[in-house]
Amino acid sequence: MNQVKQIIHNNIGILEIDYPPVNALSQAVRHGLVEGINAFESDNQISAIIIRCANRTFIAGADIKEFGQPPTTPFLPDVVNRIEASTKPVVASLFGTSLGGGFEVALACHYRVAMMDAKVGLPEVNLGLIPGAGGTQRLPRIVGEDKSLEMITGGKHYSAASFVDSHLFDALFESDQDLNERTIAFVEKKLEANDLNVRRVGEQEFLDENYDWQTAIEKIKAKARGKEAPLVAATVLQKTVGKSIADGMAIEREAFLKLRESEQSAALRYAFSAEKQAAKTKLQAEPKTVKEVAVIGAGNMGSGIATAFLSAGFTIHLIEQTQEGLDAGVERVASNFSRNVKSGRMGQAAADDCMSRLVASTRLETVENCELIIEAIFEDIEVKKTLFTDLDKLAQPTAVLATNTSYLDINQIAEVVSDPSRVIGMHFFSPANIMKLLEVVKAERSSDVALATAMAVGKQLKKMSVLVGVCFGFAGNRMYTRYGREIQQMLLEGAGIEQIDKAMASWGMAMGPLAVQDLSGIDIGHNARSAQPFPAHDPGYFRAAAVMVENQRLGRKTGKGFYQYPEGKAVYDQEAANLIREKGLDLGITQRSFTNDEIVERALLALISEGIKLYQEGIVNRLSDIDVIWLHGYGFPRHKGGPIFQAKQLGKEKLAKALTKLRGEQGELIWPPVELGVLDTDD
Ligand code: T1G
């Protein structure tokens, strides 16, 4: 199919890209652009050229479908240089999200016009890359060093309106105007005034007037937290100051190609495609439209969930049994929004609008107008079953009934509802207005329409929604339990508290696992585990946490846990270390020293083996869902891809050998062995 149409409008040649869904720069699009420029350049009837797009956005970047494949001509740098070299003025017409190579095409044009609400950006660092088609050279020539460094090393999206005072755009149009018409009018007006010229950004000099690159690069290094691409991007800009566009692009290209072969870029590109895959649930039903949502329970979770929904434009009925509890919940929601305003994440008017859609009530009957009801009450199966019995009578017969339980059996809850097909889990992660992960839990009788509705709502909440099945802890927390067991087993075997946290944090985890325990409260997990039978085959099972709880060391909230917290700052606590050492000796566990690598390896292996088992048991649809869960729910470093990505990097043979380390004192297999053949599946 021809992905670039050539349209002639009077004396204007229009190249219209039509390659759904986002007009990515496929080989056919790149070829069509070159062909179109050649054709219009040699046509004497044509005085100017417009590059525009059909569908939902201007070019959103290089085609991710071509990533990992051998590059094909015409290479994008050659395409953008051909556009800039055009002897007839070329105008880019932007809307939607013009990103990466798409924005680089626009930068190579001689003029840029856009909708005010269009977004532009060079997000390549999010894929472990740098702009590879002149972006590091043309952007600084237009917006200067500071702004271009910020945009290229941060990888964020920017509204076109934010450049109203720069030379980036020659015209910006309000959202009620027709972009194609306005672009043609812009060109015709300029042509009439004989004021539409070939203005090549690349021919401008890239000078830095004593720009303090050293300070800028130090700041970027500190923020990069182990990610390579931002630093490479900054270094390319610094190295190309004063160079011609051709020399600068050669340096850029060399750095781009090197990054494209890096493990970090493979991990980040994998993470991006894994997220897109997770959204493909194979559910055979269209989602219901949801406008009014009830959140039952105004505690930390309920108020966080309510905040997330209000921020996404929903009306929320927040329900709590007592007026006092309800007032406290409303206060928590209000303080969430005031924090958003203080941090600049949200304007006051937007925050006020959100709060205006909050309806607080102590009456359960207010669920009657809601298409979705989310329960976030006390984590007790009987309490939840009683509530769902009431909801069955009060809610609309087609309302989706979702529980936010972290561990309880949703099948048991569904049993009390006359139509159990509308019962699902929506497992948010605390704080629910911040954490991106949402596990949509499919109980045995959950209907596809209920699940599809939850997945669609998750997307509206800008959550990373993953469809999972029912088991103890579903997918994320079951792996978290396995990970925690291995961490605590190493404590009992002699690994230090700080050593474990530092090893995991320097490997890339957002926080040390023991500091996380102290933050969330050691008793939370301890109580959930105590409701389950104790695994007699594993005598050390979370005994380090148990001894903390026995000594009222619950973490930050009691001023001490694995650490102590004078003035709220975590410091080493010898008493905690002594208690754990004594427990280890009581259990007859030989104490020994550990290397940091061994700590990281055993923790990773625990995650990998449990993740594979979840896939084999059908709790997740695909192995890559495991990685999406761990990237968005547990602070797994994105530039490491996820536990399964790490397993695939290691390979089955090395992994099988390494997994033998997950044994007990007598070499017995504490945890059932895992079949590794599944790692060959490319889901
Ligand atoms: N190529 C191909 N398909 C893409 C795509 C891309 N770049 N981006 C998105 N899609 C598909 C996606 O798979 C999904 O398909 C559909 O579009 C909607 O996506 C040389 C090398 C554009 C902001 O990093 O940030 O250019 O599942 O669900 O939430 O310097 O997608 O429907 O079949 O995400 O509205 C730089 C990545 C590449 C942009 C839209 N560009 N994409 O978000 O929809 S590197 C990017 C996004 C580069 C050059 C370098 C987002 C979006 P399907 P979606 P959305």
List b or e across 91-121, with b for residues whose CB sees 16 or more CB atoms inside 10 angstroms. bbbbbbbbbbbbbbbbbbbbbbbbbbebbbb
Residue 556 lies in a domain: no
63 in contact with ligand 1, CB cutoff 6 A: yes
Residue nearest to atom 12 of ligand 1 (CA): 276
Distance of CA 414 to the CA centre of its chain: 31
Task: Domain count for the chain, please give it.
Answer: 3
| Closest-lying ligand 1 atom to the alpha carbon of residue 57 | 22
Closest CA to 167 of 146, 192, 140: 140
Dump pLDDT digits (tens) for 257-293: 999 999 999 999 999 999 999 999 889 999 999 989 9
Residue 54 lies in a domain: yes
Q: Are residues 38 and 164 in the same domain?
A: yes
The partner residues of 51 in beta bridges, in order of sequence, read: 15, 92
Instruction: Determine the pLDDT at residue 669.
Output: 64
ipTM higher than threshold 0.90: yes
Residue 284 lies in a domain: no
10 Å Cβ neighbour count for 641?
A: 26
Residue 561 lies in a domain: no
Residue 674 lies in a domain: yes
308, 314, 319, 320: CA torsion to nearest 10: 20
Alpha-carbon span 502 to 319, nearest angstrom: 42
Q: Are residues 110 and 60 in the same domain?
A: yes
Residue 286 lies in a domain: no
Dump pLDDT digits (tens) for 604-618: 999 999 999 999 999
Q: Are residues 187 and 237 in the same domain?
A: yes
Instruction: Determine the pLDDT at residue 69.
Output: 86
Residue type, 314: F
Q: Considering 449, 472, 495, which residue would you say is the last residue of a domain?
A: 472
Q: Do the beta carbons of residue 228 and residue 262 sit within 8 Å?
A: yes
Residue 267 lies in a domain: no
DSSP helix/strand/coil, 72:
coil
Any idea which residues carry the catalytic annotation?
A: 104, 124
Closest CA to 440 of 430, 453, 311: 453
Closest CA to 305 of 426, 417, 445, 184: 426
Alpha-carbon span 478 to 87, nearest angstrom: 62
Residue nearest to atom 41 of ligand 1 (CA): 61
Q: Are residues 465 and 520 in the same domain?
A: no
Q: Considering 454, 472, 490, which residue would you say is the last residue of a domain?
A: 472
The partner residues of 4 in beta bridges, in order of sequence, read: 17
Alpha-carbon span 595 to 603, nearest angstrom: 13
372 CA from centroid of ligand 1 (Å): 30
Alpha-carbon span 51 to 108, nearest angstrom: 11
CATH number of the domain within which 305 lies: 3.40.50.720
Q: Are residues 401 and 499 in the same domain?
A: no
Instruction: Determine the pLDDT at residue 568.
Output: 84
Give the domain range for residue 212.
4-261
Q: Residue 232 half-sphere exposure, CB side, CA atoms within 13 Å?
A: 25
| Closest-lying ligand 1 atom to the alpha carbon of residue 122 | 36
Q: What is the DSSP string of 448-499?
A: HHHHHHHHHHHHHTT-EEEEEE-STTTTHHHHHHHHHHHHHHHHHTT--HHH
Residue 558 lies in a domain: no
Q: Do the beta carbons of residue 576 and residue 545 sit within 8 Å?
A: no
518 in contact with ligand 1, CB cutoff 6 A: no
Q: Are residues 392 and 507 in the same domain?
A: no
Q: Are residues 467 and 482 in the same domain?
A: no
Q: What percent of the chain has pLDDT over 70?
A: 98
Q: Are residues 61 and 109 in the same domain?
A: yes
Q: Are residues 417 and 492 in the same domain?
A: no
99 in contact with ligand 1, CB cutoff 6 A: yes
127 in contact with ligand 1, CB cutoff 6 A: yes
376 CA from centroid of ligand 1 (Å): 34
Q: Are residues 104 and 236 in the same domain?
A: yes
268 CA from centroid of ligand 1 (Å): 13
Tell me which H or E stretch contains 444. Answer: none
CATH number of the domain within which 227 lies: 3.90.226.10
Alpha-carbon span 661 to 79, nearest angstrom: 52
Ligand 1, pocket-test mutation among 30, 64, 256, most atoms within 8 A of CB:
64
Dump pLDDT digits (tens) for 71-121: 899 999 999 999 999 999 999 999 999 999 999 999 999 999 999 999 999
Q: Are residues 249 and 104 in the same domain?
A: yes
CATH number of the domain within which 664 lies: 1.10.1040.50
| Closest-lying ligand 1 atom to the alpha carbon of residue 119 | 23
| Closest-lying ligand 1 atom to the alpha carbon of residue 99 | 41
Dump pLDDT digits (tens) for 56-76: 999 999 998 888 788 899 999
Q: Are residues 313 and 253 in the same domain?
A: no
Q: Considering 240, 261, 282, which residue would you say is the last residue of a domain?
A: 261
10 Å Cβ neighbour count for 215?
A: 9
Question: pTM for this one?
Answer: 0.91
The partner residues of 438 in beta bridges, in order of sequence, read: 428, 465
Alpha-carbon span 194 to 543, nearest angstrom: 81
Ligand 1, pocket-test mutation among 22, 27, 463, most atoms within 8 A of CB:
22
Dump pLDDT digits (tens) for 536-579: 888 889 999 999 999 999 999 999 999 999 988 999 999 999 99
